Amino acid sequence: MSLKLNAKKTLNNLIIQTKNNPTIKSLIMFDPIFLKYHLSPNHPEDPKRIKYIGEELKKIGLDSILQKVDKDLLVMDAIRMIHSNDHISSIKANFPDAYEVAVAAVQSVITAVNQVCSGKKKNAFCAVRPPGHHALNTGREEGFCYFNNIAIAAKYVQKNYKINKIMIVDWDYHHGNSTEFFFYNDPSVLFFSTHDKFAYPLTGDPNKKGEGPGKGFNINIHLPCGTSDNDILDAFTTNLKPAADKFKPELILISAGFDSRKNDPLGCFEVSDSGFIKLTKLVMDIAEKYSGSKIVSILEGGYNLKGNASAAVAHIKTLINYKV
Ligand SMILES: [Zn+2]
């Protein structure tokens, strides 16, 4: 009974804190365009992923602070920092519906990094799809991805702000093979990924640590089926924390995939919402120490519609509430 009352009290406090409150230092990017386009009927990368997140946000009053995408924002130069002209033209010509939504996802993440890097907001969450961390320059969709949103954001920030050292944290169940690929030789981007290396796309071997000047800046942590909150938290505490202390990131980007949550149809981990809250807090502690609290979190996978929404909202609430 008292637990229930406490939960209600916390929820009410959150609503009071957030509704029309200009002091909220978090940005949530959310737009009806992400309810468009489906790879095929019944495909798990479903527009309802975003719809469910929107409904959960509305229940707690956070719909009042959602920011829509500026469809006129020019992002082609940013996309070209990662993707080839051939890849971009091929997506545009062969997958026009996906192209429109994928460009809007890039527009969202560029808006988010602009707000955070200019100091207008402390952190941001982008409720976008299609996801991005498997997108290569193959001219087609890879693992439901077309453009690597997080890689584009990192390159864009390095070019447009006095920010060089960027840490990308990827807790999606799948390995962020494209993000690894684009920064494999690059010591200015520390890529940290927890994943199941036996799942798609069969990459993410812990022995792959980067190459040339990038050696030591690529950290792959394989976790087995059944991975619990404590297991993934241990991996972060043991491996991410010391690496971050050494690297001292000036900005942290999160590939927030929630297919590592329990009951995901594409994953086999057992992480709960409470686990994602702990991971979020751990990353926020690092950000507070080194990056002026700057975090931009971008949705990747997560295919249990209810579970994905529940975890995403737990993550967003943590970004908003923690040490405000
Ligand atoms: Zn995934």
What is d(CA 137, CA 135) in angstroms, rounded to the nearest whole number? Answer: 7
What is d(CA 77, CA 171) in angstroms, rounded to the nearest whole number? Answer: 28
Determine the average pLDDT of the residues in 82-95: 98
| Omega within 30 of 0 (cis) for the link into 187 | no
Length of the chain (residues): 324
Determine the average pLDDT of the residues in 231-250: 98
What's the gap in Å between 104 CA and the centre of ligand 1?
20
Q: What is the pTM of this model?
A: 0.93
- The reported pLDDT for the residue numbered 63 is 86
Check whether 45 has a pLDDT greater than 50.
yes
What is d(CA 108, CA 30) in angstroms, rounded to the nearest whole number? Answer: 8
Residue 111 token pair:
């808006």
What's the gap in Å between 252 CA and the centre of ligand 1?
20
Look over the chain and give the mean of its residue pLDDT values, rounded to a whole number.
Answer: 93
- The reported pLDDT for the residue numbered 187 is 98
Question: Which residues are catalytically annotated?
Answer: 134
Check whether 46 has a pLDDT greater than 90.
yes
- The reported pLDDT for the residue numbered 65 is 84
What's the gap in Å between 119 CA and the centre of ligand 1?
30
Confidence of residue 22 (pLDDT cuts 50, 70, 90): low
Domains of the chain: which residue ranges?
Answer: 25-321
pLDDT digits (tens, 9 = 90+) for 149-207: 999 999 999 999 999 999 999 999 999 999 999 999 999 999 999 999 999 999 999 99
Check whether 1 has a pLDDT greater than 50.
no
What's the gap in Å between 31 CA and the centre of ligand 1?
22
Check whether 265 has a pLDDT greater than 80.
yes
What is d(CA 247, CA 266) in angstroms, rounded to the nearest whole number? Answer: 33
pLDDT digits (tens, 9 = 90+) for 118-151: 999 999 999 999 999 999 999 999 999 999 999 9
Residue 239 token pair:
């491996």
What's the gap in Å between 9 CA and the centre of ligand 1?
34
Confidence of residue 77 (pLDDT cuts 50, 70, 90): very high
- The reported pLDDT for the residue numbered 21 is 57
What is d(CA 5, CA 267) in angstroms, rounded to the nearest whole number? Answer: 34
What's the gap in Å between 27 CA and the centre of ligand 1?
24
Q: Is 196 helix (H, G, I), strand (E, B) or coil?
A: coil
CATH of 25-321, one of 3.40.800.20, 3.20.20.70, 3.40.50.300, 3.40.50.12160: 3.40.800.20
What's the gap in Å between 50 CA and the centre of ligand 1?
15
- The reported pLDDT for the residue numbered 3 is 46
What's the gap in Å between 167 CA and the centre of ligand 1?
19
Check whether 80 has a pLDDT greater than 90.
yes
What is d(CA 131, CA 145) in angstroms, rounded to the nearest whole number? Answer: 5
